[in-house]
Amino acid sequence: MALQEPKMRVMRRDDIDAVVAIDALVSKQQRREYYERKIEAVVNSSNNINTSLVAELDGKVAGFIMGDVYFGEFGIPETSATIDTVGVHPDYQNRGVAHDLMDQFLTNMKGVGVKKIYTLVNWNDFSLERFFANHKFQPSKRINLELQLP
């Protein structure tokens, strides 16, 4: 039987359980509070554009991508975007779901005039790094600084 094409749509508030469950499976972390805050901000269309997407397969959320658009903020003159999280349910990995999410995300970003997209990947997360490299992401000229507070 031919594999079904995932259906892309904008993320909604009621996707929270599916998103938290997928994230828990792929990142081994429980981050409901983080996603509650994030989804609340992305679905509140009065102060930003909802860039976040989900992919549905068999009527279920199989994966998601979440990002933000910045119109000349943080001293960055050009309109830019970030990808904050991406995740695909292990049952649906390796069949192009993340690729389709990325494709749609990039199309949407081009549509709103974004010139550059930033993301952060842990240095030893090789599979995620490969996924971004396959989509032409490169090491940035900006460097990431941190300060550990006691």
Ligand X SMILES: CC(C)(COP(=O)(O)OP(=O)(O)OC[C@H]1O[C@@H](n2cnc3c(N)ncnc32)[C@H](O)[C@@H]1OP(=O)(O)O)[C@@H](O)C(=O)NCCC(=O)NCCS
Look up tokens 């995932």; give the residue.
6
97 makes contact with ligand X (CB under 6 A): yes
Q: Which of 48, 79, 82, 93 binds ligand X (CB under 6 A)?
A: 93
Q: Which residues contact 23 (CB under 8 A, 6 or more apart)?
A: 29, 31, 35, 85, 87
Q: Which of 51, 52, 85, 108 binds ligand X (CB under 6 A)?
A: 85
Q: Which residues contact 139 (CB under 8 A, 6 or more apart)?
A: none
- Binding to ligand X, residues 116-145 (CB under 6 A): 127-128, 130-131, 134
> Where does this chain touch ligand X (CB under 6 A) — which range of 12-20, 68-76, 89-97, 138-146?
89-97
Residue 145: CB minimum distance to ligand X, A: 20
Phi–psi pair at 68, nearest 5 degrees: -145, 155
Give the x/- contact pattern for ligand X in 23-62, rule: CB under 6 A.
Answer: x--xx-----------------------------------
| 50 versus 85: smaller Cβ distance to ligand X | 85
